[in-house]
Each structure stands twice: as structure tokens, then as C-alpha cells.
Structure 1
Amino acid sequence: MTATDSTAREAERLAWARAASGNAALELHRASVDAGFRSYWRTANAGESRIVMDSPPALEDVRPWLRMRDLLEAGGVRVPRVLVQDIDAGFLLLEDLGGPTLAQVITEADADAHFDAAIDQLLKLQRIVPPPGMGEFGEALLQRDAGLFEEWFLRRHLGIELDCGEAEQLQLAQRRLMDNALAQPRVLTHRDFMPRNLMPVDDGPAVLDFQDCVIGPIAYDPVSLFKDAFLSWPLARVDGWLARYHARALEAGLPVPPRERFLRDADWLGIQRHLKILGIFARLNYRDGKAKYLPDAPRFIAYLDEVLPRYPELASLRELLDARIRPAMLRVAA
């Protein structure tokens, strides 16, 4: 979007918000922005605070967000309430769920209670029957995710060109991770169910950023919750939370495998997700000019360092990490 387009959109957004609220004195202040093209604006001079979602139609269609919001709400998941909508213009007036996300308020002392409430919402989400035609987290999506890591993180960010043997090492590990994901029971999957996308309201937490839900492996969202892209916890505590989720999922009648198998599945999906996110963060930096994500890359290397020693089957990935990736990260950081 050019500067002229941006200025025109700003004026259109404010005029729409004033008309939708019935308050000609209303002003808007930036509330948050995500990695896509949507932006969020908090009302001022308007009595009770509201949020305007701006989803420019030419860049990001708001209808998938609305369809998924309605599906989740019908399943009992706490999601933002829509007060006014204008699909053609790409504007929504939403309830204001407050400022801080769960990622900003959670502490070591209250993490158990917050995560238990998050599990409540996740179990509701996973019990929803996916509608016909919903996308799947299958072979094509997994292959795309695998390519992000090699193309953007290894090649573009670290300047690594793998030789034939190294490429085979990576492909072997990626294939095993993909086979594990494909073999898991399938449920409705958020794909970014993490504290940054949860709002700590009394009847929540409320779930955000759900428009890309797919049918996917049952362990994906639990491991996303506890091994966050922006917030890390000790491995022993993560293992305990995963076990807690597993027990509650069994009680809820969800198709989780036996506990030890589930914990392995979660570890392997975590590894797959960490590699994908490294690629996404590098792409956001180099392609989209969004530099704030890439500094979190060492967090994902630390996740890999924690879990890879548990699985000799993934030794080829560990060897690549030690021989090529870690030295290249030191060079880039120098």
C-alpha cells in the first residue's frame, strides 16, 4: 500500500468508525498490528471503548475471519463479538477485550491457572466438527512449511547452501516429522494457539487470529500453547502441561493417543513448527520489512536443543544444527 493509499485508507477508516458508532467526535488510536495486512484501532472519545478491525479488501478478505468466528462461537469458544460489520469495505466494529494479551500478563506464579483456562477453550475448539470444504494441514501444507525453513532461514538469512549430503540429512528429518504429523488423529486446528493470541477476559481467555483454522494433527495446538513463539518455559513444566492437556482431552472424549505417544507426537510437531517459524520470521524480515520477529530466532534454536537429544531418529537434524546452523548464526550475529 502506497503512502497515498495509506492516507486515504486512514480517512476512510475514521469516517466509517464515526458512522458505525454514531459519534462524530470519535478518534482512533493504534491498538495492535499482526503479521498480515489487518490492523486494529481502539476508539477514543466514544464512551465505552471499541475496536475497529481494518482488513483492506484488496489485501486481506475479512470473510474467512467472520466465517471462522461464527463457527467457533457456535462451538462455545470465546471469541470477539462483532457489533457492526461492512464486508465490502473491510471494516468491523468489535468489542474491546482490553489491552494486554495473555503473553503480557502471565507469570510463573499464575501460569498453571491461565493455561488451565486456555485448555478449556482449546478443548471446545477441538470438539467442533469441521465444516465441509475446510482446508487440511496435510502433505501440501507440510511441504510448504518445510520449504520456508530452507529457503528463507538457511539460504536467505544465514547464507547457507547445503551440499548433497546435508540436503539429504535435512530432507530425512523433515520427512520423518511430516510422517508423524500425518499419522496423528485429526481435529479442528487453530495453528497459532499461543498466549499472544489469547485475551485474559473473565469468561475466556478469548481466542484471536483464528481465520486460518484447518483440519490438523491433535497435538499441534497444545504444543503451540506451551512452546510459544515469544515466551519460553522450562522443559519440565512444559512436559507437565502437555500431560495435563492429555488427561483432560481424554476426559473430553477427544481422539488423543496413549500418553507417551502423545508426548512424542507433541515434541515432533513442536520441532516441525519451530523450523517453519524460523522460515516465516526470516521471510517477514527480508520480504515484508518486518524486522521485529527475527530477533526471536534463538528461542527456537533453544527449543530444538532441548528436545532433539530425546530422539535418535532425528540425529541428522541435530548434526546439521551443530555443524552448519549454529556457526552461521554466530557469524550473522557478529
Structure 2
Amino acid sequence: MPEHKPPTRTIPADGSERLFFRTTWKGLSAVEIHPAPGESGLAEARSFHDIGRHLKDADVPVPEIYHYDSNNGVITVEYLGDALLNTRVKHLISHDAWPEVFRLYRQALAVLIQMQTDGAAGFNNKWCFDSPRYDAGLAYRNEVLYFLRSFVRGFLQYDPSPAVEQELSELACRVNMIEERDFFLHRDFQSRNIMIKEDKLHIIDFQGGRSGPMGYDAASLILDPYVGLPGWMRAELLAFYMKLIKDRNPSADMEKFPGEFRLLGLMRTLQVLGAYSFLSMTRRKHFFLQFIAPALSNLIELAFHRDFDDLIEFRQMVQGLSIDQGGKNAGQG
């Protein structure tokens, strides 16, 4: 009996240029992942393999890697089914099953903190195909400039003042003021990158992992526009996550953490607005259009917190932005 059967059908991808196929490996259900084109795709595949093996060795619930061909970048991994946390949670919300929603998110945060801490032990930054750590430079290049280029100038066709970019540049510099930045950071830890198999959560799309602060991935999940959790649940989940940190490290100083969470949440929201705009306009993946309005709502709410009173020009700009239900710019004030 052959170890591997040829792929049978394509599995839909979200924003990735990789291709996913159902297959089998030694009689087990599996997924064959073909890399994005070019050297960058091969580098991304190497990171998936190296980081995935590391996380699996640390008992983080990620899919098992059955085979990796370093020549063509094709990876065969465990098939986790098709149940996304996102799909399950939205179904539960539609039935007002909030206790079950809360249970699943608590489980997700418990898995997250395990990944962040256990995944940091022995992590080799040479495995990172993009950049080795999340810092002020990355926040400026990949979040501030991405937001201004793809969302503000590209999607909205709006020309921001130089003062807006200056304020956001200074905001990105605050990332380096966070003292603890040596945890494992997934950088896309949201409800569509968490699978449910036999009532257990599993993390996928970890190839962009690097070192960074804890609050970024927590903000990515709690503020996730794909779901749009109500404010009261966001507050309860943040409190639960902070308790998890304290349980893991009783000496942890949690006084600064809410502010770090808001800062990283704002940076993450800049990133997703850039990504949704790029994916919908450039790659014609119109699925993402529906999430621009809730992401912009998150951005406005965060920007007007007193932590960011110095973002005068930025506040003025975002206050005048509005997106209609179809995801298009409805004008600037």
C-alpha cells in the first residue's frame, strides 16, 4: 500500500496564496500544502515545518507534520477536519449560547498562553522566514505603512496628512517600551486559525511565528472582527487571560498589561484593515470586504481611549471615515 495517495480535492484558503488538498498518508486523513510561488513561498514552507515541529515537541496542539519535501516545499500534515472556531462560535451566538461561547474562548486563551510560554522555550529565531521578532520597526513597516497604503490610500482613496503618519510612527515606537517581548507570537491568532477536533482546539497557520509580547495574540483573538464579540465579553476574556498569566507567573506585574493590550490591539487593527483591503482589492478575495466595517469600528473605539490622546490628527482622520454595509467607503468628513 503506498504511503501517500495523490490529492483528491482542493480545500478553500482564506488569504493565503498556498494551495491545500485533501489526501491520505499511511492510511491517515491528511492535507497536502503546496507553497506560494517563488523563493518566499519556499521560505514560508520551511518556517511552517521548523516552527510546527518545535510547537509539536512542546505539546502545543498543532497538526502533526507527516512529511516535508525541502526541494519543492510541499508539506503533508494531519487533517483536523473542517470545524473552525469561527463557525462554531457564530452559530452559538445566533442561538444566544453565550456560556458555551465563553467556554470555547477560555479554552482558546488557555491554549494560547501554553503556546506563548512553552513555545518560547528553545525557539530559534532563524526559523522565521519574515522577521525574527515583533518590534517597533515591524509594527511601523508591516502595520502602520500597510494600513496607510492599502486601507487609507488604496481602499478609501484618501490622502492622509504627514502628521498622521508621524503620529502613528511614534505610536509604533511604544512597542519597544514593552519590557517582556520574548514570548512566542503567532501574529495571526484569530478564530479562523483555530480548528475544533473532538472538542479540542488546534492552532494552524503558525508559520509567521516569531518572538514578541504576549498581548498581541490575545488582542488578535479578543478583538477579532471575524466574530465581533460584545464589549462585556471582551472585558471578561481579558480579565481571564490576565489571570492565566498570573497563574503561570505569580510574580508578574499586571498593572501595565491592559495598556499594552490596547496598544497592541490598535497595532493589530491597523494590520487587519490593511490586509482586508489588500486581499479584497488586489487579490479579488471579496470575502474580506464584510469585515472592514467592524475592524474600523474597533479602530475608532481604541483610538479614542485616553491612552492615545496624543493621536490628534489620526483621531480627526478616522472620525471622518465611514464604510457602508457593502464594505465601500461612504465618504470622509
Q: For the superposition of Structure 1 and Structure 2, which TM-score range results when normalised by the shorter chain?
A: 0.7 to 0.9
Q: What secondary structure, in the 3-state scheme, does the structure 2 residue paired with 1:60 have?
A: helix
Q: How does 1:1-334 map to 2 (within 5 A)?
A: 20-21=3-4, 23=5, 28-43=8-23, 48-56=28-36, 58=38, 60-61=41-42, 62-106=45-89, 107-108=92-93, 109=97, 110-127=100-117, 128-129=120-121, 130-133=123-126, 135-144=132-141, 145-162=143-160, 166-172=161-167, 174-184=168-178, 185-186=180-181, 187-202=183-198, 204-253=200-249, 257-259=253-255, 261-311=256-306, 312-323=309-320, 325-326=321-322, 329-331=329-331
User: 1:277/1:132 Cα in 2 relative to 1: closer, same or farther (>3 Å)?
Assistant: closer
**Count of residues paired in the alignment:** 305
Deviation at 1:31, TM superposition (A): 1.8
Preserved CA contact (<8 Å) 1:170 1:316: no
Deviation at 1:161, TM superposition (A): 1.6
Preserved CA contact (<8 Å) 1:227 1:238: yes
Q: What secondary structure, in the 3-state scheme, does the structure 2 residue paired with 1:206 have?
A: strand
Alignment TM-score, normalising by the size of structure 2: 0.83
Preserved CA contact (<8 Å) 1:189 1:213: yes
- Structure 1 unpaired stretches of 5+: 1-17
Preserved CA contact (<8 Å) 1:78 1:203: no
Query: Is the deviation greater in 288-297 or in 265-274?
Result: 288-297
Query: Is the deviation greater in 314-323 or in 217-226?
Result: 314-323
Deviation at 1:228, TM superposition (A): 1.0
CA distance, structure 2, for counterparts of residue 38 and residue 256 of structure 1: 40
Which letter maps to 2:219?
Answer: V
Which letter maps to 2:9?
Answer: H
Preserved CA contact (<8 Å) 2:137 2:172: no
Preserved CA contact (<8 Å) 1:57 1:90: no
CA distance, structure 1, for counterparts of residue 208 and residue 251 of structure 2: 22
User: 1:214/1:27 Cα in 2 relative to 1: closer, same or farther (>3 Å)?
Assistant: closer
CA distance, structure 2, for counterparts of residue 254 and residue 102 of structure 1: 30
Preserved CA contact (<8 Å) 1:138 1:182: yes
Equivalent in the alignment of 1:15: none
Q: What secondary structure, in the 3-state scheme, does the structure 2 residue paired with 1:284 have?
A: helix
Alignment TM-score, normalising by the size of structure 1: 0.82
User: 1:152/1:100 Cα in 2 relative to 1: closer, same or farther (>3 Å)?
Assistant: same
CA distance, structure 1, for counterparts of residue 276 and residue 72 of structure 2: 30
Which letter maps to 1:158?
Answer: L
User: 1:188/1:47 Cα in 2 relative to 1: closer, same or farther (>3 Å)?
Assistant: closer
Preserved CA contact (<8 Å) 2:188 2:217: yes
CA distance, structure 2, for counterparts of residue 34 and residue 154 of structure 1: 22
User: 1:122/1:155 Cα in 2 relative to 1: closer, same or farther (>3 Å)?
Assistant: same
User: 1:256/1:195 Cα in 2 relative to 1: closer, same or farther (>3 Å)?
Assistant: farther
Which letter maps to 1:175?
Answer: S
CA distance, structure 1, for counterparts of residue 7 and residue 13 of structure 2: 18
The percentage of aligned residue pairs carrying the same residue is: 22
Preserved CA contact (<8 Å) 2:269 2:295: yes
CA distance, structure 2, for counterparts of residue 138 and residue 322 of structure 1: 28
* RMSD of Structure 2 on Structure 1 (CA): 2.6
